[in-house]
Amino acid sequence: MSGDLVLQIILTVAAGLVGVGLYGALSQQSIVMIMMGLELALNGVLLAGGAAWYFLAPQRPDAQMLIVVTLVVMAVEMAMGFAVTIAIYRTRQVDMVDMAADLKG
Amino acid sequence: MAELSGWAIGAVAALGVTAIGMGIAVFSVDSMARATFALLGSFLAVAGILLVFDLVYLAVVTALMMTIEMAIMAVFMIMFMMNPAGLMPMSMVHNKRGSAGAGAVVFIVLVIGVWTVDWPTRDGQPPADSTRQLGEAIMGSHMLVMLVIGVALLATILAGTVLATARGRYDRFGADLRATRPDDPVGGGLRR
């Protein structure tokens, strides 16, 4: 199997992860489940970055740096998401996004 | 183009199917704890694919970081969320059709791009040690990225602490900060 084909198949898998993650982030009501959807979409970015490094430009470190940045984004998203969850739950016992719709226009 | 051996292609295929299947399971199982571990399975499958690509360091970092992260997430599930054990069917969704449509459209657009782009041919061979390549980039040509990441993580630490603090100075000294004694439930706290 040629490398081009393998690259395209892997990128298709990555696109599937992004699509499923986006569905989860948009459809879930629980704040933690929304965060899991975002993480799943970022998982697809990890996979696409690794495939791009190996199949397109293994001599350059740029795709590896993209993976590092994605991992950091995941950590920041998780930390800030839980901090916000704790803050809003502590003050208003809100754990679902539909319960925090006061500012909805 | 790249040469992956037969077993490597088989491993990537199996891990790719696992990653997608576990990802779908995250939003179809009845228990939030199970959803968390399904997400962990998806991450571990992607880490396995990175391992096949010789990205040993990034694969190990992904596996370790996501294992810890999902363990923390499971604790939060049980703390905050309803139905963590899956004792009854769970469906907490809104706008399911629109969300599925948005996800499908994004997937289709990305797939059309993936299969129509004329991908460039591979430029060079993988280095003998991909970790060394990454380390030299972090400490050399890509140091600005690491500097920005460092500042972002510091800001996250500070903001997370501020958000997670139950009682701030306005709770202790009043809205105008003019109280002479802090209004603490237990004495002995810091003075102004």
> For chain A, which residues make up each domain, given as ranges?
3-100
Percent of chain B with pLDDT over 90: 56
State how far Cα A78 lies from the chain centre. 10
3-state SS string for chain A: CCHHHHHHHHHHHHHHHHHHHHHHHHHECEHHHHHHHHHHHHHHHHHHHHHHHHHCCCCCCHHHHHHHHHHHHHHHHHHHHHHHHHHHHHHHCCCEHHHHCCCCC
User: Within 13 Å of residue B79, how many CA atoms lie on the same side as its CB?
Assistant: 15
B174 or B1: which leads in pLDDT = B174
pLDDT at B1 over 60: no
Report the pLDDT value the prediction gives residue B86, as an integer from 0 to 100: 62
Report the pLDDT value the prediction gives residue B90, as an integer from 0 to 100: 67
Q: Is the CB of A23 less than 8 angstroms away from the CB of B62?
A: no
Kindly state whether A26 is in contact with chain B, defined as any CB-CB distance less than 8 angstroms. Answer: yes
How does pLDDT run across A12-35, given as a tens digit for each residue? 999 999 999 999 999 988 888 899
Q: Is the CB of B62 less than 8 angstroms away from the CB of A71?
A: yes
Q: Is the CB of A23 less than 8 angstroms away from the CB of B27?
A: yes
pTM (2 d.p.): 0.89
Cβ proximity of A12 and A48 under 8 Å:
no
Across the interface, which of A6, A11, A76 has its CB nearest the CB of B114? A11
> For chain B, which residues make up each domain, given as ranges?
1-85, 128-192
How does pLDDT run across B70-103, given as a tens digit for each residue? 998 888 877 766 666 666 666 778 888 999 999 9
Tokens at residue A56, please? Answer: 């397109």
Q: Is the CB of A95 less than 8 angstroms away from the CB of B65?
A: no
pLDDT band at A1 (very low <50, low <70, confident <90, very high): low
Tell me how close the Cα of B120 comes to any Cα of chain A, in angstroms: 7
How does pLDDT run across A53-103, given as a tens digit for each residue? 999 999 999 999 999 999 999 999 999 998 888 888 888 888 788 888 777
Give contacts of A 5-24 with B, CB under 8 A: 6-24
How does pLDDT run across B92-149, given as a tens digit for each residue? 788 889 999 999 999 999 999 999 999 988 888 889 999 999 999 999 999 999 999 9
Give dist(CA B71, CA A9) in Å, integer. 31
Check whether domain A3-100 has CATH 2.60.40.1120, yes or no: no
Cβ proximity of A70 and A42 under 8 Å:
yes
